[in-house]
Amino acid sequence: MNTTGATMLLRTAAELDAFGARTGPRALVMTMGALHEGHATLIRAARTAAGPDGQVVVTVFVNPLQFGEAADLDRYPRTLDADLAVAGAAGADAVFAPSVDEVYPGGEPQVRIAAGPMGERLEGASRPGHFDGMLTVVAKMLHLTRPYAAYFGQKDAQQLALIRRMVRDLNFPVEIVGVETVREPDGLALSSRNRFLDAEERRTALALSRALFAARDRLAAQQALHARAQTTTATTGRAAALTRLGEVRAAADTQAVAWARPDDGPAAVRAAARTILDDAAAAQPPLALDYLALVDPADFTEIPDDRTTGDAILAVAARVGATRLIDNIPLTFGADT
């Protein structure tokens, strides 16, 4: 266990094998570097799970197979010295930071993992081939590092779902653990891309998390009203009577309870988020929406408006200036309030 804040830097698979032979079971955190508090949270979760007899390895590798344009690959920040410090402070025992040639000897692999239909939706539609490249490198890193568990952030919800599906479908002997999204005090989801936002762009970008929170709050309010409707005698007639008596506020509350319907949830969620995003589209600088989608976490297909129960993910992607950002929030329809 790392108790000093110092980490070993490993550059080759041979060094990784030699390191693993000296220590206990391994928990893995896979990154592309530019580590921030979100990554540190993953490392701390892995450290806690691994315990004093286990080890935590962090991979730092900017995977060229995930980038559609060379300019985006070149623009991605490389901060290895800072990454070592963050990883060590969070409890990592080693950072495995191989070169491209070490991971892909002889050039890009001819055989790759195909993400399938889920990989063609949302992020996959916006970034063709991205998930094939991601799964290919995740598979390689899992083989190279041989962990018993690997930790990924829920901010990249579609990525997490695809990794879980690959591990299940291809019988990888590893547990995939999702860790809750870490946010900055203003609500913006932590991302290495946030550093590219200037002050005005960041103000506009806050619409992403505000839209998600508005949708979550709207669902909670809708479900609370429906729960009240099941236990009260509120009727539209009673609301009209209260209005005639001058009790306007009470009348409005009674009518809302009377009209509450569980199948309004998905439509209400989408509408609440869309209102915030539409306002941001008119801001300066504007937010250019890529998608807003309410999806089933199992396969990322759209949830119909008549869904009244079950888990969902509300996902959003947008561009502010030259920076593309994603965010999401889990929701549960039909939850107790």
**Tokens standing for 275?**
């209102």
Q: Is 39 a catalytic residue?
A: yes
- Other CB atoms within 10 A of residue 307 CB: 17
Instruction: Give the three-class secondary structure for 108.
Output: coil
Interatomic CA distance for residues 152 and 30, integer angstroms: 7
φ and ψ at 331, to 5 degrees? Answer: -135, 155
Cβ contact 230:276 at 8 Å? no
**Tokens standing for 26?**
């391994």
Q: Which residues of the chain form beta strands (DSSP E)?
A: 8-10, 26-31, 55-60, 94-96, 149-153, 175-179, 287-295, 310-320, 323-333
Cβ contact 16:143 at 8 Å? no
**Tokens standing for 271?**
């509408």
Residue 164 to residues 56, 62, 120, 152, 178, Cα–Cα distance (Å) = 20, 21, 16, 10, 10
**Quick one: which H or E segment has residue 230?**
helix 207-231
Cβ contact 60:80 at 8 Å? yes
What is the separation of C-alpha 301 from the centre of its chain, rounded to a whole number of angstroms? 16
Interatomic CA distance for residues 137 and 130, integer angstroms: 11
Which one is catalytic: 39, 130, 143, 226? 39
Cβ contact 314:329 at 8 Å? yes
Active-site residue numbers?
39
